[in-house]
Amino acid sequence: MPRSASPPAPDAGPRFRSAAVARMAQMPVATLRIWEQRYGAVQPVTAPSGHRLYSPSDLQRVLLLRQLTEQGHAIGSIAALSATQLRQVADGVSAGRRPPTRRNTVARIAVVGNALAARLQRLPAVPRGPAWQTFASLDEAAARQGAPLALLLVQAPELRPADMPALLGRLQAARQACGAPPMAVLYRFASATTRRALLDAGLQAVREPADDEALGRWLATAIAPPAARPASPAPRFAARGAPAPRRYDDATLTAIAGLSPTLACECPRHVAELLMELASFEAYSAGCVHRDAEDAALHAYLQQVAGSARALFETALERLARHEGLQLP
C-alpha cells in the first residue's frame, strides 16, 4: 500500500508521465485521469507534446490520495483538501479514528456478459462487494430472485435486425426479474434499425467504448443521479483478405487490455481493443441482411477485409507480447 511522505518543493526534481505515476501508485491510468478530470485532485502540467507531466509534489499527493482511498475514504470527499489537510486525515486514521464509510452512488449493479464485467471491475466508479452482480447470459439474469437492482448493463457485441424480436423478449424478461431498473445494451456494431428497436422498447443503446477511460466516463454518468447526460456515441465501421479462425477470444483480449497500466508501452491494450472491434465487425458483416446479390457480395467482402485485418493484428499482438515479456495463451 502506498504511504504518504512530505512533498518536496512544488517544481523541484524530475517530471513524471501519467503511466509512471500510475505504476508507482499501483492504480490504473484511467483512475488517475478520472481523479484529475472529474475531481480536480491533482493538476499536472501539459508538455508541448501533449503528455501530462507530474512534479514530485504531484506524485506525493497522488500516493497520499491513493493511500486514503484504500483506507475507505471516497475520492470525492478528499480531492479538494490541501497536502497538509490530507496528512492530517492520514494521521487521524493512523491514530485509530475510523475513516468515513464509502458510499456507493448506485446500491446494486448487474452486468450480463463476463467480458464486460471484467472490464468494469477495473474501473473506480463501479461499486464493489454485494452491490455487484454478474450474469453469464440473459437467461441467467431472467432467473434471478432478490431485491430490485438500480442498473442493469447487457453486453451484446453484434445486434442484427433478424435477432431483435427474440432478443427484445429476453431483455425484457431479464429486466423484469431484476426489478425493472434502467437498462443499457452495450454493443459494438448495430444497424440504425436495431438501435431504434431498443430505444422504442425503453432501453438505452450504447456503443461500447473501446478504451477503459471512456467506459469509465460513461459509467460515471450512468450511475450518477439523473442529469444532463451525453448522447450515445454513433457507430463507426472498418476495412480486406482470406481470414483464418480467431486465435484469441474476447475474454483473453479483455485480460490483455487490462495489463497495460503496468507496462511502459500501452500498445498491447490498443491492439487487444482493435482485435475485439475487428472480430465483432467480422461477425456482424457475416450476418448482415442482404437486399440483393450485389449487397450480399459487398458484405462478404467486408467480412473478408475484417478477417484479414484481424489476422494481421493477431500476429502483431504476438510480436508485442514477445517484446514486452507477456505470456499469451
In angstroms, the CA 305 to CA 319 distance is 22
First-to-final CA distance of the chain: 30
Instruction: Count CB atoms within 10 A of the CB of residue 254.
Output: 21
Name the residue with cell 440473459: 138
Q: What is the average pLDDT score of the chain?
A: 76
| pLDDT tens figures, 115-144 | 888 887 777 655 555 567 888 899 888 888
Closest CA to 281 of 158, 155, 164, 191: 158
The closest alpha carbon to 326, from 209, 274, 248, belongs to 248
Residue 7 has pLDDT above 50, yes or no: no
As given in the structure block, the three cell numbers for residue 149 are: 437492482
- Calculate the CA 177 to chain-centre distance: 26
pLDDT value, residue 107: 45
Q: Are 277 and 310 in contact (CB under 8 A)?
A: no
Residue 47 scores a pLDDT above 90: no
Task: Name the 3-class secondary structure at 322.
Answer: helix
Instruction: Indicate the length of the chain as a whole number.
Output: 329
pTM (2 d.p.): 0.45
Over residues 185-203, the pLDDT tens digits come to 999 988 888 888 898 888 8
CA atoms within 13 A on the CB side of 207: 18
| C-alpha span between 258 and 253 (Å, rounded) | 9
Instruction: Say what percent of the chain tops pLDDT 90.
Output: 6
Distances from the Cα of 176 to the Cα of 183, 195, 326, angstroms: 10, 21, 43
**Grid cell locating 186:** 452495450
Per-residue model confidence as pLDDT tens digits over 88-115: 887 765 444 444 444 444 447 888 988 8
The cell for 262 is: 503496468
Cα–Cα distance for residue pair 36/33, rounded to 1 Å: 5
Is residue 79 helix, strand or coil?
coil
Q: H-helix or E-strand containing 88?
A: helix 83-94
Q: Is the pLDDT of residue 79 over 70?
A: yes
- 230 backbone dihedrals φ, ψ, rounded to 5°: -65, 150
Give the pLDDT of residue 171.
Answer: 93
In whole angstroms, give the CA distance from residue 34 to residue 216.
8
Contacts of 103 (CB under 8 A, 6+ apart): 74
CA–CA dist 270, 263 (Å, integer): 13
Q: How far apart are CA 220 and CA 120, in angstroms?
A: 11
pLDDT on residue 292: 67
The pLDDT value recorded for residue 108 is 74
- Work out the number of other CB atoms within 10 angstroms of the CB of residue 235: 15
Among 74, 70, 66, 11, smallest CA distance to 43 is for 11
pLDDT tens by residue, 16-27: 888 888 888 888
Which one, of 185, 59, 31, 193, lies nearest residue 122 by Cα? 31
H helix intervals, 122-163? 138-142
Alpha-carbon dihedral 270, 272, 273, 275, rounded to 10 degrees: 120
Do residues 160 and 194 lie in contact, with contact meaning Cβ atoms separated by under 8 Å? yes
